[in-house]
Amino acid sequence: MAHARKQVRGKQLVAKVMAATIAEMARVGAEGLSIEDVAARADVNKTTIYRRWPTPHVLARQAMLCASEISSAPIDTGSLRGDLSEWAHEFRRIATSPDMQTIIRMRFGAPARGRMSALTTDLEEKKHARSRAILRRAVKRGELPRGADTELLHDVVLGALLYLVVFSRKHSDVKRLERAVRLILDGALGPSKLRSRKS
């Protein structure tokens, strides 16, 4: 006798399917993702998934969007230091979630030109555009000098957050991240200021 699946809808359905998708991607990789296998793991009908997410690629992308919590709302506390602190808090909270930990392991273990890389590159660009906007607003407010190399400053802050939260074996709590951000910003705003891209 076939197993009678309990019908779920709305947010509960999405949560079950997204969790099952991440788990399946961890098992077989982005290239091997199957809607049938996700449906079986989530204990829902495959037609339910096909109606919302018609291909494995669409399903994988949506699962990663959910895990990444990509928001279109800007981080804007009114000050550069406040914005960078908020960015650090958000980065740590998302990067240490179980689903994102799984995605990070897949991302850095996947081929450079594979489907996983293509999926994450798109999502990373959306997140980076949001965090780069923090520095552009700081220039407009006069908190950073005009001509400041905001791209380089962004990469330095992002690199520090990645190392401290993802790669370092030493636990980095919120206070440690804030100290790191302050150290970078204090150095950037020191006597030499930020060099322009032309220098």
d(CA 78, CA 57) in angstroms, rounded, equals 38
Long-range contacts of 130-137 (CB under 8 A, 24+ apart): 130/70, 130/71, 130/72, 130/74, 130/75, 131/75, 131/87, 131/157, 131/158, 133/74, 133/75, 134/74, 134/75, 134/76, 134/80, 134/83, 134/84, 134/87, 135/80, 137/74, 137/76, 137/80, 137/83
pLDDT at 181 over 90: yes
- Residue-range domain boundaries for the chain: 10-66, 72-188
How does pLDDT run across 149-176, given as a tens digit for each residue?
A: 999 999 999 999 999 999 998 888 999 9
Q: Would you tell me which CATH number, out of the four given (1.10.3720.10, 1.10.10.60, 3.20.20.140, 3.40.630.30), belongs to the domain 10-66?
A: 1.10.10.60
Instruction: Quote the pTM value.
Output: 0.77
pLDDT at 121: 82
pLDDT at 194: 43
Q: Give CATH superfamily name and number for 72-188.
A: Tetracycline Repressor, domain 2 (1.10.357.10)
pLDDT at 9 over 80: no
pLDDT at 6 over 70: no
How does pLDDT run across 107-143, given as a tens digit for each residue?
A: 887 666 777 777 788 788 888 999 999 999 999 999 9
